[in-house]
């Protein structure tokens, strides 16, 4: 693995944020500037600087600075994708980010091809595996960040192939392997797991966090009583950020055009019923 070379990814990480009142001494921050390609599901929603988001931000910046391999994991819907895309958008050189899209259980030739496409080598990739891999290694000498989401889809041979590419001493590209269950997939290939610089868990929101985080996430939650937030989390939310975002989307649709929207228990019950599905 390459040594520390690019401190700019850490030192140039500037954030324009506003502090929100937290619980238990915690301070949450809400990002105010334009967030390109960060999905938040509903208008007026913000990326909230929870401890998890701040940790992902620093992990991605660190990986970009030193050309490291990191694993971002956690249960589905915990906010991994939003946190990752936000962190990538804050890098000093976001144009250097490349995304790799893989299918389920790709073969090594298929992975080689999608890597080549991500690195814009697709049309020039030689037919021979050895020559193609050499071209990939040469491309990975450039300082950038390669993001492979849904890494849990990769079988052992494909992960071993990645390990071989990132074993090369001249590799200067950071690799972010993300997905629910990605940590289990990587653990099955010890040679690659041993090269992971940081194992970054994105946990579910704690019951103490939910009210403050949602008030920072969207203005609709600012005046909702703490008892109502607790009720929603116990019945539907369960600390899952994706579920809370979908619920917020339903509420904004219900209150569209209302000049002074009020979110009460009756409205919350109706929105929650839309998420619970048939029993």
Prediction pTM value: 0.81
The mean pLDDT of the chain is 84
What are the pLDDT digits (tens) for 246-277? 999 999 888 887 778 889 999 999 999 998 86
Does pLDDT of 2 surpass 50? no
Residues 6 or more apart whose Cβ sits within 8 Å of residue 153: 102, 103, 104, 105, 106, 179, 185
Sheet holding 196-201, edge to edge: 97-100, 144-148, 173-178, 69-73, 196-201
Q: Which of 23-37, 123-137, 197-211 has the lowest mean pLDDT?
A: 23-37
Cα separation, 214 vs 204, in Å, equals 13
What are the pLDDT digits (tens) for 125-175? 788 888 999 999 999 999 999 999 999 999 999 999 999 999 988 899 999
Q: What pLDDT score does 38 carry?
A: 47
Q: Quick check: 176 and 148 in contact, CB under 8 A?
A: yes
For residue 162 the two structure tokens come to 């990645």
Q: What pLDDT score does 268 carry?
A: 94
Q: What pLDDT score does 27 carry?
A: 36
Cα separation, 195 vs 33, in Å, equals 35
What are the pLDDT digits (tens) for 32-90? 333 434 455 677 888 888 999 999 999 999 999 999 999 999 999 999 998 999 999 99
- Overall size of the chain counted in residues: 279
What is the average pLDDT across 102-128? 90
């Amino acid at each position: 693995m390459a040594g520390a070379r690019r401190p700019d990814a850490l030192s140039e990480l500037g954030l324009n944020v506003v502090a929100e009142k937290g619980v238990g001494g915690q301070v949450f921050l809400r990002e105010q500037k334009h967030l390109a390609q960060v999905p938040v599901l509903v208008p007026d929603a913000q990326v909230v600087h929870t401890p998890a988001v701040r940790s992902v931000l620093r992990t991605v910046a660190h990986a970009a600075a030193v050309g490291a391999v990191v694993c971002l994991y956690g249960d589905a819907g915990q906010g991994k994708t939003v946190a990752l895309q936000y962190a990538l958008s804050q890098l000093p050189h976001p144009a250097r980010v490349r995304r790799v899209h893989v299918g389920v259980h790709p073969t090594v030739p298929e992975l080689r091809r999608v890597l080549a496409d991500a690195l814009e080598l697709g049309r020039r990739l030689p037919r021979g595996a050895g020559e193609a891999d050499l071209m990939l290694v040469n491309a990975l000498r450039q300082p950038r960040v390669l993001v492979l989401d849904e890494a849990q889809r990769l079988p052992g041979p494909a992960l071993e192939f990645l390990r071989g590419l990132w074993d090369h001493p001249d590799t200067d590209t950071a690799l972010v392997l993300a997905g629910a269950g990605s940590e289990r997939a990587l653990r099955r290939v010890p040679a690659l797991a041993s090269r992971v610089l940081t194992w970054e868990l994105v946990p579910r929101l704690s019951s103490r966090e939910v009210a403050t985080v949602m008030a920072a996430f969207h203005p609709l939650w600012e005046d909702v009583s703490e008892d109502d937030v607790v009720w929603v989390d116990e019945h539907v939310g369960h600390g899952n950020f994706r579920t809370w975002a979908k619920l917020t989307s339903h509420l904004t649709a219900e209150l569209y055009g209302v000049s002074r929207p009020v979110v009460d228990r009756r409205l919350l019950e109706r929105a929650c019923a839309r998420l619970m599905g048939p029993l």
